[in-house]
Amino acid sequence: MQKRMQSLPLKNVKIDDLYWSRYISKVPAGLDYQWEALNDRLPDTEKSYCMHNFKVAAGMEQGEFGGMCFQDSDVAKWLEGVAYYLETNPDPALEKTADEAIEIIGKAQQEDGYLNTYFTLAEPGKRWSSLRDRHELYCAGHFIEAAVAYYNATGKDRLLKIICRYVDLICDTFGGEEGKIPGYPGHPEIELALVKLYHATGERRYLDLAKFFVDERGKEPLYFDIEKNRPGYTSAFDPRIFNHTYYQVHAPVREQDTAEGHAVRNTYLFTGVADVAYETGDESLLKACETVFDNIVQKRMYLTGSIGSAAAGERFSADYDLPNHSNYSESCASVALAMFAKRMLEIKRDAKYADVMENALYNTVLAGISLEGNRFFYVNPLEVVPEIADKSTDLEHVKTERQKWFGCACCPPNIIRTLASMGQYIYSADDDNLFVNLYLSNEATCKIGERDVTVAVKTRYPYDSGVEIRVKTDSDAPFTLALRLPGHAFLNRIVVDGAPAHEVLEKGYIKLKRNWKGESVVQILFDLPVQRIYANPKVRADIGKVALVKGPAVYCLEEADNGENLGAFELPDDAVLREEYDETLFGGTMTITAEGFKVADDGDSSLYRTTPPRKERAEMKFIPYCYWNNRGKGEMLVWIRREVK
Amino acid sequence: MQKRMQSLPLKNVKIDDLYWSRYISKVPAGLDYQWEALNDRLPDTEKSYCMHNFKVAAGMEQGEFGGMCFQDSDVAKWLEGVAYYLETNPDPALEKTADEAIEIIGKAQQEDGYLNTYFTLAEPGKRWSSLRDRHELYCAGHFIEAAVAYYNATGKDRLLKIICRYVDLICDTFGGEEGKIPGYPGHPEIELALVKLYHATGERRYLDLAKFFVDERGKEPLYFDIEKNRPGYTSAFDPRIFNHTYYQVHAPVREQDTAEGHAVRNTYLFTGVADVAYETGDESLLKACETVFDNIVQKRMYLTGSIGSAAAGERFSADYDLPNHSNYSESCASVALAMFAKRMLEIKRDAKYADVMENALYNTVLAGISLEGNRFFYVNPLEVVPEIADKSTDLEHVKTERQKWFGCACCPPNIIRTLASMGQYIYSADDDNLFVNLYLSNEATCKIGERDVTVAVKTRYPYDSGVEIRVKTDSDAPFTLALRLPGHAFLNRIVVDGAPAHEVLEKGYIKLKRNWKGESVVQILFDLPVQRIYANPKVRADIGKVALVKGPAVYCLEEADNGENLGAFELPDDAVLREEYDETLFGGTMTITAEGFKVADDGDSSLYRTTPPRKERAEMKFIPYCYWNNRGKGEMLVWIRREVK
């Protein structure tokens, strides 16, 4: 395999971007808010119990375990977010809070290294007895990620040592050898984390354990079947929904050729599989990643970069089954899809992976959080009618307003840790290449081979189509600056230091191979028109409909701009799509307006009639999907009907 | 209130009808099949346990209770169906089987009259402790219906006496008096049954109990809340779905103004409420029935006469929420809707109720059973893509082929008892009127006031638009023959004994007031064109779409005729709709063909693209909805997209 490209360290990337900074700037407040949640100090929200659980396990507080069996992971994701934030923004008070939390976590650790408050408090003596349902290895995975991030950010190894002790116990517990448990996690996550830990520590056994989990998964006889047939095993999960595909054990990983089951589990799993495939040079594993990724992107992904079209089991359903009003499309699943895509991009150097990564990040991940940074969506439909979604028991999972917190609060910290680490998605580098994957205004420093390079990107992408990149080196720096041509953009021209450049497009990247010296200015002009998107005609929910995008930003209609019954709009194929930048809306955004039709309320209250509905001319105003529901409750719609003849 | 009209006795109505007899003729085989099911003699089906339970309770067999807590009701509905069949078709062998079953039931009755095998076997000592969840009064209601029907059909009062003993116990147990339980059923049904028992026996206390159940329902403090707060009360039902509206206790019945909750419970309840309203002359109750009925018909009913748009809780959801692929639309709910409509029709003499009754019977009730009479749908979507419905966990409830039987087998016997009693829906009569509600070929005898009248109807409705009615009387018979103008028909002309008649249309009925003498021939010619139907634009699932009906028969596309991806079809507003009678198809049916378009498979496998899909001319062939899935598994679609410009 070709050498895998690497992200730049977060501390090397300073973002100041029109599209992103309004969200990233909310990270410190978001971390504070989450800390309050983890300590059950938010009013009128479901209790978290997180820190309570750790304090009880640490002997610092009396009480019982509260919350879900995977509650610990919320603390871990918060710590990981804190770490990413601290890496670029020194904040002694926050760091002190985190250090104190780490001490509590350390005290909650059992003598043999075991660290999971659910089993310590709620089911003592039952560790590892329910790998399928109880998320022990999942929580361990999140703590590994937190520990590595905190170590990278602060240089402090207290958490890393705590976690390594725990992982050493896990290594001693799991494996194919006599006396070890030949199992694997019901909720994958630890696989990708173990590879991070391997890189942070150089300990090969961590990679070996990740590989073991991947290799063992789906092998007959299934460990989960053995486990569930043991006396005393109980599970409240309906086996019609929580079946083998749900847990991605329906086949060995190398033989899985569709994206099945719980969407977050699936994409966390294949993120880790991609890591293991690369680290072990295993082409058959990498092939499975490519196949599953392609299945997602070609048949099972929403235009907004979300996945998991079925609510029952929060899972993938079937090819081309993409209902817009009842889907799950969990925020976490888009976070995970971006992670999976990032691995594939680094390994395959193909912009098709960056397209998906960008899509998930620009649309669903951002839709998951309010512009104020303190309200969250877990589920991300593309069509909402509050009067119906709030009443229908089939849409119980759809919230029509972002929530303050959740009893199962995986999404908020997942979004925050993603925002805090956006810098990792922008560039990929190796000794001879600097790939620009995403167009955010930022300044970055990096080493390309032995040369120090600084890059300053200025752009109003995706609202404007120009990008200026200043490349500075002190000495001769022969390397390739690879500029991604975004999926919905066309290249108009590239000018390097005033001279038009005619470069080759390779796997979606425009490659400027130069001996860079001093300061060069690269000016890119994309054509980034608003585009009409049509779905594959096999997508029953979207047939006869059209959606608008500008670059990665998917647009939607909202009731605040367009009145109610958005489904009544028709957008003619020849309607002019007028772009207008509104400085005041959502902190500044490009809107799109178009003349179309809207079925008129003709006063006929009958449910069925023999005359077709009358329609009248109507203007439509579109806003980026990620901003919906920042102006109160109302309808929202991404896929608009085309004009009926 | 005006006097309520009455059905003719079943034995007075002989049906020999193009549309119906192919189903009604399957009743005896269906009853045999069900008897096999009730005795667990069907191969490869979920076990019923019904007769087993009765035999164990009767001390005739060893074993434990099996099946659902409401399993007894399947036997009752079977007996009711047997009774209706025997009323028109003497069948000594079947009657002997039924008599033997009744003896077993009698032996299962407890000393004090109590009769419910679930509580007798599975939860002894806990009778009446869970009115909300355990269906005791529901099962009693079905036995009352069976007993009355069997007595009417055979003159044998064995079952009636058994049941009256049980109902007397119920009368002693429930009521507002000190020491009685002030409760009501979680699943209504007994209300309508008690009114039948009141008519069969003349015992006013049965009507009083029905009225008590209706009056008490929804009164604060709610009996169900009191019940559930008792020590030891357990319920496995998710309170977000199984909430107060689910059980129709969110408000007193008189204040309920929308159709809420479980669709079958709702419509059984309001069927009984209509009965109680009429018998007690209670206008406020009748008003509630009218309001709820109108809410169903104007905002919550499918074109196919089905109800219950949400699968979670098998229930009503919200106004205009009518998804076509994920709805519940239980066969039983359409049976119940026809019953509710029949009551309202008899009380209000308004054809709008007959339209709904006809719609439910001609479409969803028939769709619930195969043409061979031995396969059943429980759930009746209007759009099915088997590849998706068979895989999506959100569509677990949707079966893409009719089933042999169900663990919860309410629907098959409900359909059979309806087919066996179709005669009750055709006419309504009082001393001065004979209303013809449905146009089935049949011969009927009746008494209008003191005069004997026979009526012979010949028609190929809804395929042909002519109806001939021969009215015979021995003596002068001054009465009004009221002929319903069906909802989707227009009156072309009426000829009475060769002379054009110019009659008044009153509440949807053409009223021929005559002094009938000897034999008269009434010839009606409707215009019964295939019509395009459009939904109210608030129905998001149907906007931009059209459906075809011919009279009460809703049409659909099926994959067997049209290939796959039915959603890709477009039906232009000006396409000619050609009717053709196919003698060979489904035993003879009118088909509709039209020229339209179908989005072409252009070989582009991408999920999202910037060019609109190409389409090509394509012929569409429509069949009546009720016949779908009689030619193997495949797609089906009722609402077709209109042509996109």
Q: Which of A69, A139, A289, A410 is catalytic?
A: A410
**Helix, strand or coil, per DSSP, at residue A60:** coil
B546 near A CB under 8 A: yes
Rounded to whole angstroms, the Cα distance separating B98 from B104 reads 10
ipTM given for this complex: 0.95
Q: What is the DSSP letter of A313?
A: T
Report how far residue A72's alpha carbon sits from residue A108's, in angstroms, rounded to the nearest whole number: 11
Residue of B nearest to A326 (CA): B394
pLDDT band at B157 (very low <50, low <70, confident <90, very high): very high
Identify whether the C-beta of residue A533 lies closer than 8 Å to the C-beta of residue B609: yes
Residue B66: pLDDT band by 50, 70, 90 thresholds?
A: very high
- In this prediction, residue A235 has a pLDDT band, given cuts at 50, 70 and 90, of confident
Interface test with B, best of A300, A327, A388, A638 (most B CBs within 10 A): A388
The answer to whether B224 touches B181, Cβ cutoff 8 Å, is: no
B543–A317 C-beta distance less than 8 A:
no
Query: Which of A399, A611, A644 to probe by mutation at the B interface, max B CB count within 10 Å?
Result: A644
Give the percent of chain B with pLDDT over 90: 95
From chain A residues 384-413, the ones with a CB under 8 A of any chain B CB are 385, 387-388, 391-394, 396
Contact A645 B644 (CB under 8 A): yes
pLDDT score, position A102: 98
Q: What is the pLDDT of residue A1?
A: 85
> Quick one: pLDDT at residue B207?
98
Q: Average of pLDDT values for A67-88?
A: 96
Q: Pick the catalytic residue: B314, B330, B346, B635?
A: B314
A187, pLDDT greater than 90: yes
Inform me whether the pLDDT recorded for A601 exceeds 90.
no
Q: What is the pLDDT of residue B641?
A: 98
B410 is an active site residue:
yes
d(CA B313, CA A589): 42
Q: Check: CB of residue A496 under 8 Å from CB of residue A513.
A: no
User: Among B190, B177, B300, B208, which residue's Cα sits nearest to residue B245?
Assistant: B300
Question: For residue A46, is pLDDT > 90?
Answer: no
Percent share of chain A, pLDDT over 70: 100
Q: How many residues does chain B have?
A: 645
Q: Which of residues 308-337 of A touch B (CB under 8 A)?
A: 309-313, 315, 317-321, 323, 325-326
| Contacting residues for A105 by C-beta, under 8 A, at least 6 apart | A54, A58, A75, A115, A143, A159, A162
Q: Which of A241-255, A321-335, A539-553, B234-248 has the lowest mean pLDDT?
A: B234-248
A33-50 average pLDDT score: 93
Radius of gyration of chain B (CA): 25
Tokens representing B148 are: 């009355």
**φ, ψ of residue A347 in degrees (nearest 5):** -85, -40
Q: Poorest-confidence range of A230-244, A366-380, B18-32, B565-579?
A: A230-244
Question: Is B537 in contact with A568 (Cβ distance < 8 A)?
Answer: yes
Question: What pLDDT sits at residue A326?
Answer: 98
Report which of residues A407 and A302 the model is more confident about. A302
**What's the CA gap between A269 and A245, in Å, rounded?**
13
Size of interface A-B (CB pairs under 8 A): 190
Instruction: Tell me the mean pLDDT in the region A58-86.
Output: 97
Among candidate residues B14, B76, B43, the one with its CA nearest the CA of residue B442: B14
Q: Minimal Cα–Cα distance from B382 to chain A, Å?
A: 13
Residue B208 burial (CB count, 10 A): 16
- Average of per-residue pLDDT across A78-101: 97
d(CA B54, CA B61): 9
Q: pLDDT band at B236, cuts 50/70/90?
A: confident
- Cross-chain CB nearest to B317 (options A317, A321, A394): A394
Question: Within the 157-196 window of chain B, which residues sit less than 8 Å (CB to CB) from chain A?
Answer: none
Does the CB of A415 have a partner CB in chain B at under 8 Å? no
Residue A268: what pLDDT?
98
B492 touches chain A (CB under 8 A): no
Rounded to a whole number, what is the distance in Å from the CA of A440 to chain B's nearest CA?
Answer: 25
Give residue A527's pLDDT: 94
Total residue count of chain A as it appears in this document: 645
CB of A502 within 8 Å of any CB in chain B?
A: no
Q: Residue A624, preceding bond cis, omega within 30 degrees? A: no
A640 touches chain B (CB under 8 A): no
C-alpha span between B50 and A288 (Å, rounded): 50
B235 backbone dihedrals φ, ψ, rounded to 5°: -150, 135
**Contact (CB, 8 A) for B567 and B620:** no
pLDDT for B1:
85
Determine the pLDDT at residue B504.
87
Residues in chain B closer than 8 A to A321 (CB atoms)? 385, 388, 391-392
- Residue type at position B80: E
Dist. CA B182–CA B176, nearest whole Å: 5
Closest chain B CA to residue A611: B534
**Residues 6 or more apart from B446 whose CB is under 8 A from it?**
B8, B12, B427, B429, B434, B452, B453, B454, B455
The first and second tokens of residue B201, run together, are 């026996």
Does the pLDDT at position A148 exceed 90?
A: yes
- Region of A643 on the Ramachandran plot (φ > 0 left; ψ -120 to 50 alpha; else beta): beta
| Helix pair angle (A190-201, A136-154), 10° resolution | 30
In terms of phi and psi (left: phi > 0; alpha: psi -120 to 50; beta: otherwise), the region of A313 is left
CA A142 vs CA A75, A149, A268, B338: distances in Å: 9, 11, 11, 57
- Say if the Cβ atoms of B394 and A544 lie within 8 Å: no
Which of A511, A434, A442, A500 lies closest to A473 in space, CA to CA? A434
Give B-chain residues touching A393 at CB under 8 angstroms.
Answer: 240-241, 310, 312-313, 315, 317
Rounded to 5 degrees, φ, ψ at A342 are -60, -45
The answer to whether A565 faces chain B, any CB pair under 8 Å, is yes
Nearest to B388 among A313, A318, A565 (CB): A318
Which two tokens mark A109?
Answer: 């650790």
**Residue A405: per-residue pLDDT:** 83
Chain B positions in Cβ-Cβ contact with residue A396 (cut-off 8 Å): 240-241, 312
User: Over 90: is that where the pLDDT of A583 sits?
Assistant: yes
Residue A218 has pLDDT above 90, yes or no: yes
Q: What is the pLDDT of residues B296-336, one digit of tens each?
A: 999 999 999 999 999 999 999 999 999 999 999 999 999 99
Let me know: does B119 contact B127? Beta carbons within 8 Å. Answer: yes
pLDDT value at residue A502: 82
Cα–Cα distance, B404 to B90 (Å, whole number): 27
The neighbouring-strand residues paired with A599 are A615
pLDDT reported for residue B534: 97
Average pLDDT over all residues of chain B? 96
How far apart CA A463 and CA A587 sit, in angstroms, is: 13
Q: How crowded is the C-beta side of A207, counted as CA atoms within 13 Å?
A: 15
Q: Which residues of B touch A577 (CB under 8 A)?
A: none
Establish whether A139 is a catalytic residue.
no
Which amino acid type is present at position B66?
G
pLDDT, tens digit (0-9, with 9 covering 90-100), for A277-295: 999 999 999 999 999 999 9
Q: Are A113 and A55 in contact (CB under 8 A)?
A: no
Rounded distance, CA A518 to CA A528, Å? Answer: 31
pLDDT value, residue B410: 84
Tokens of A204: 């090969």
A507, A2 Cβ separation under 8 angstroms: no
Q: Is B325 left (phi over 0), alpha (psi -120 to 50) or beta?
A: alpha
Catalytic residue among B50, B332, B410, B446: B410
Contact flag A609-B533 (C-beta cutoff 8 Å): yes
Is the minimum CB–CB distance between A383 and chain B shorter than 8 Å?
A: yes
Residues of chain A with Cβ-Cβ distance to B607 below 8 Å are 297-299, 301, 535-536, 539
Kindly report, residue by residue over B415-463, the tens digit of the pLDDT: 999 999 999 999 999 999 999 999 999 999 999 999 999 999 999 999 9
User: Is there a contact between B645 and A642 if contact means CB atoms under 8 Å apart?
Assistant: yes
Percent of chain A with pLDDT over 90: 94
- Mean pLDDT across the stretch A174-178? 96
Question: Which residues partner with B599 through β-bridges?
Answer: B615
What is the secondary structure of A113-155 as a DSSP string? S---HIIIIISTT-TTS-TTTS-HHHHHHHHHHHHHHHHHHH-
Residue contact B567–A540, C-beta within 8 A: yes
